[in-house]
Structure 1
Amino acid sequence: MAGKKDEAIIEKLAEDVKKNNLIDPEYYKLYNVKSGLRNENGTGVLVGLTQVGAVHGYLVDIGEKVPDEGMLIYRGIDLKDIVSGFQKEKRHGYEEVSYLLLFGKLPTNSELDEYKQLLGRSRTLPRSFTENMILKNPCKDIMNKLQRSILVSYSYDENPDDISVKNMLRQSIELIARFPTIIAYGYQAKSHYFDNKSLFIHSPRPDLGTAENILHMIRPDNKYTEKEAELLDLSLVIHAEHGGGNNSAFATHVVSSTGTDTYSAISTAVGALKGPKHGGANLKVLKMIDNIKENINSWGDRGEIKDYLMKILKKEAFDKTGLVYGMGHAVYTLSDPRAIHLKKKANELAQEKGRMEEFELYKSVEELTVELFKEIKGPDAVISANVDFYSGFVYDMLNIPHELYTPLFAAARISGWCAHRIEQVVSDKKIMRPAYKNVIGKREYIEIAKR
């Protein structure tokens, strides 16, 4: 840590840095630059092609964005049909979805069994990895631990830089299998060294799927119910992929276009997901709901809830950003299909756990935010709950520690990231190199004595 004198110097320099890096917003209009890679109507700028996934949330009619029901597509197949398919057969779906994303087709029974066995044999971390990388270097932030562990995995790979499809596929399968182990052990180390709790390092079981292994490894007694495993599996399925335009998938494409190794590309994706604007929003929802609980007298009083939500929107309450977290999305307008699936299961679990009053509070916040949005912006304005609105509540009911919420997102999305990486290397040989307009103009160098 810097001393007081150094802190004062850095604080003064920070003011210069802020002043000399702020670009006048008018320049974006002047040079027709799409800030955030978004068009003026809110649609994303088209920057690439993909077969991995697609996100549908609106139609475009003569340049105008027209709201539509949301759809999430994995390799051309509607997520709704995928979920319906494996749930109807009363089995877990994440491994099937992972196979679909990686290989571009639905597996047969024998192909799925073979893939599950591959993952099962790859879940154990390399020799000495747990001791040297995780236990000797514990971290308060599990996403940081995950990112560093991915980079260190390069050192344990005898052929890390080979970007042939066969080698990238082998690396992808190992990472998909090991992400749950890394985040579980990272959490156990954090719990022990920073929270003074007992240390539990449970070996992954090759006979268990991804969701079951996560619950098996993060819990001291290894115990979980089938309902819990089913719900966590669903959460992994709906988080596995979200098109090439989401920030972490796009980052994977950008870095992979340089020809770099798999570990560098995937660690970049984890770094992108770690940001609160991307993967950490469900924690914000939990904190907001806790704040609402503290400031209303009755969870069932919709009028009181609505009044407090108005204060949040007016930047008078909670974190004073004017945001109702978990509501709204960059693509989805009328609905987020992921939120629909989670809401249904959250209702079932809330009944089982005796937390229906709390579930009804979430529902009221969702419905009243939609009402307020129309009152403030007009009757045609649309907003809907996104996946983050219910996912934090679901994880809380599953007794999953808050520190693991975003890492669980990563453990699901790794399948999509690996699919996007392979697609980029196979399909587009050019390094991504967009243009930036320099707006500072020409300046003269001044000798140091004359400054």
Structure 2
Amino acid sequence: MGMSDLKKGIQNHLLELQLEIDEIFAKGRDSVVAEVSVGQIYGGMRGLVALACNTSYVDPYSGLYIGGYTTDEFSDKLPEEIFFLLSTGKFPDKESLVNFQTELNKRAQVPQYVWDVLRSLPKDTHPMTMLSLGILSMENESVFKKAYQKGLKKMDYWQYTLEDAMNILAKLPALAGGIYRIRFGDGQLIPHDSGLNWSANLAHMLGVNDDEGFADLMRLYLVLHCDHEGGNVSAFTSRVVNSALSDLYYAVSAGLNGLAGPLHGLANQECLRFILNIHEKLGADPDEDVLRTHILDVLNSGHVIPGYGHAVLRVTDPRFTAFMNFGESNCASSPCFKIAKKLFSIVPDILMHYKEGKVANPWPNVDAMSGSLLHYYGVNEFDFYTVLFGVSRVMGFCAQNILAQGLGQPIIRPKSVTNKWVIDRLNAQA
């Protein structure tokens, strides 16, 4: 069966999405549905409605939805099931899942030249540089590029983009595991095991911990970080690059480069550093009043509490809750987990009343807990955390680009304006 179930599912989903778009255009292609403020022009376009993304949606009060499913409804799934959901809008049945996993296993071998490239880098190269470069070094393998050069119909772009997506996704566990072994271990690569699923293979090839709990954490981690709408730095970068018909190797590498930025993909590192600092200063089980005083001291010094607040959410991130439930079941006695849990019990209350409650969202996001769990299982190299984030988020990059190509979306080219244009427009309105 190979990929036939996935292809058919995507094809059906594209037909559904196109019918919705046709209905939208029929109601008013030139209708105004949102406005842009001066603050948005100069504020990173935050909150500006300018994209359509049908893989996921973040509701301010109920969190992440994928294919209409809440976090609670998909957090027990495998990453392979999640990619199927992102791409088709539906979960695979058992047979389709097995066929999909079999296809990934066939494509899992990373070419030797990739390892040669990565081993040639300086020893202190950042793991995210290695991940981005590892993917980009395989660009010559692009099925889309080769087909496009021979003459490819626009209606078939998505099928060849899917081929590239499968090849990239299949190799990601081995690539990430190998990067960890080269950068932080003894350099000996652990072979791919075709008897394991995608996330279990990642846990296996890292060689950090053989505990079944670690494999399940990798499953949960990859599921919860898979996608987060289309406007975040990494997803949007990937989509813009692919909209120019740069193949998926370019687009995924570009998205990962965005994710590597401190303002995007490093939050869980900062959260864990904050927790470890508390552990060092206040002990493994700090008194609540002492911890409360410490939090206020941090705030009064002009710093934020890492892991609290979110650009969209106005409630506790359901992904945080999923990680906390995992911790309760697997590492409840861990000092870092206990501190993270205690922070959850006091930080929101402090933030709600701090400076007369000016904090828009005092609740924890996914990063407030994830680093503590990785630390418990022995992944202590902070620089590697973003690689795990990246492995997960590539699922979203791929699905968004497959669907965009299938819907025939054009190159992304928003309009920029000068300060003078803005001033003239404001003067005209005065």
One of 127, 133, 153 as aligned partner of 1:142: 127
Measure the CA separation in 2 of the matches of 1:186 and 1:71. Answer: 32
**What is the aligned partner in structure 2 of residue 179 from structure 1?**
172
Measure the CA separation in 2 of the matches of 1:143 and 1:263. Answer: 15
**What is the aligned partner in structure 1 of residue 193 from structure 2?**
205
One of 341, 345, 357 as aligned partner of 2:326: 345
> Quick check: 2:279–2:336 contact (8 Å CA) kept in 1?
no
**What is the aligned partner in structure 1 of residue 343 from structure 2?**
365
Measure the CA separation in 1 of the matches of 2:146 and 2:227. Answer: 25
One of 115, 130, 136 as aligned partner of 1:151: 136
Measure the CA separation in 1 of the matches of 2:53 and 2:236. Answer: 11
Render the CA deviation track for 1:252-304: whole Å, top value 9, x for unaligned: 22222222211111111101111121111111011111222333367331111
SS at match of 1:137: coil
Amino acid at match of 1:331: V
> Cα–Cα, structure 1 residues 297 and 95, in superposed 2: closer, same or farther, change >3 Å?
closer
**What is the aligned partner in structure 2 of residue 400 from structure 1?**
379
> Quick check: 1:251–1:269 contact (8 Å CA) kept in 2?
yes
**What is the aligned partner in structure 2 of residue 13 from structure 1?**
none
Render the CA deviation track for 1:4-30: whole Å, top value 9, x for unaligned: xxxxxxxxxxxxxxxxxxxxxxxx986
Does structure 1 residue 99 correspond to structure 2 residue 63?
A: no
> Cα–Cα, structure 1 residues 368 and 217, in superposed 2: closer, same or farther, change >3 Å?
same
**What is the aligned partner in structure 1 of residue 310 from structure 2?**
329
> Quick check: 2:144–2:161 contact (8 Å CA) kept in 1?
no
Amino acid at match of 1:37: M
Amino acid at match of 1:327: Y
Measure the CA separation in 1 of the matches of 2:194 and 2:370. Answer: 27
Amino acid at match of 2:168: L
Q: What's the CA shift for 1:161? A: 5.3
> Quick check: 1:34–1:45 contact (8 Å CA) kept in 2?
no
> Quick check: 1:176–1:414 contact (8 Å CA) kept in 2?
yes
Render the CA deviation track for 1:195-250: whole Å, top value 9, x for unaligned: xx532211111221122111211117xx6122221122011111111111222111
SS at match of 1:73: strand
> Cα–Cα, structure 1 residues 31 and 436, in superposed 2: closer, same or farther, change >3 Å?
farther
Amino acid at match of 2:178: Y
> Quick check: 1:94–1:233 contact (8 Å CA) kept in 2?
yes
**What is the aligned partner in structure 1 of residue 257 from structure 2?**
271
One of 99, 108, 115 as aligned partner of 1:123: 108
Which consecutive unaligned segments of at least 5 residues does structure 1 have? 1-27, 39-43, 58-67, 87-92, 192-196, 316-320, 442-451
Q: What's the CA shift for 1:103? A: 2.9
Please give the residue correspondences for 1:35-184 in structure 2 after superposition, counting only pairs within 5 Å. Answer: 35-38=43-46, 44-57=47-60, 68=61, 70-84=62-76, 86=77, 93-130=78-115, 132-137=116-121, 140-157=125-142, 160=145, 162=147, 164-184=157-177
One of 33, 37, 40 as aligned partner of 2:41: 33
> Quick check: 1:123–1:204 contact (8 Å CA) kept in 2?
yes
Amino acid at match of 1:365: L
Q: Under a length normalisation based on structure 1, what TM-score does the superposition of the two structures give?
A: 0.78
> Cα–Cα, structure 1 residues 418 and 145, in superposed 2: closer, same or farther, change >3 Å?
same
SS at match of 1:278: coil
> Cα–Cα, structure 1 residues 346 and 125, in superposed 2: closer, same or farther, change >3 Å?
same
Measure the CA separation in 1 of the matches of 2:39 and 2:85. Answer: 42
Percentage of identical aligned residues: 25
One of 355, 380, 384 as aligned partner of 2:363: 384
Amino acid at match of 2:327: A
4+ residue segments displaced more than 4 Å: 28-32
> Quick check: 1:326–1:388 contact (8 Å CA) kept in 2?
yes
Amino acid at match of 2:373: V
Across the two proteins, how many residue pairs are aligned to each other?
375
One of 247, 261, 264 as aligned partner of 2:233: 247
Measure the CA separation in 2 of the matches of 1:159 and 1:253. Answer: 16
Which of structures 1 and 2 has the bigger CA Rg?
A: 1
Amino acid at match of 1:359: F
**What is the aligned partner in structure 2 of residue 283 from structure 1?**
269
Render the CA deviation track for 1:93-148: whole Å, top value 9, x for unaligned: 11111121123321111110000001111111124332x22223355311101111
> Cα–Cα, structure 1 residues 298 and 219, in superposed 2: closer, same or farther, change >3 Å?
closer
> Cα–Cα, structure 1 residues 159 and 430, in superposed 2: closer, same or farther, change >3 Å?
closer
> Quick check: 1:50–1:244 contact (8 Å CA) kept in 2?
yes
SS at match of 2:419: coil
Amino acid at match of 1:33: I
Amino acid at match of 1:206: S
> Quick check: 2:284–2:336 contact (8 Å CA) kept in 1?
no
SS at match of 1:110: helix
Does structure 1 residue 216 correspond to structure 2 residue 204?
A: yes
Q: Under a length normalisation based on structure 2, what TM-score does the superposition of the two structures give?
A: 0.81
> Quick check: 1:327–1:366 contact (8 Å CA) kept in 2?
no
Measure the CA separation in 2 of the matches of 1:158 and 1:359. Answer: 44
Measure the CA separation in 1 of the matches of 2:238 and 2:354. Answer: 38
Q: What's the CA shift for 1:74? A: 1.0
Higher helix proportion (structure 1 or 2) = 2
SS at match of 1:173: helix
Measure the CA separation in 1 of the matches of 2:203 and 2:39. Answer: 51
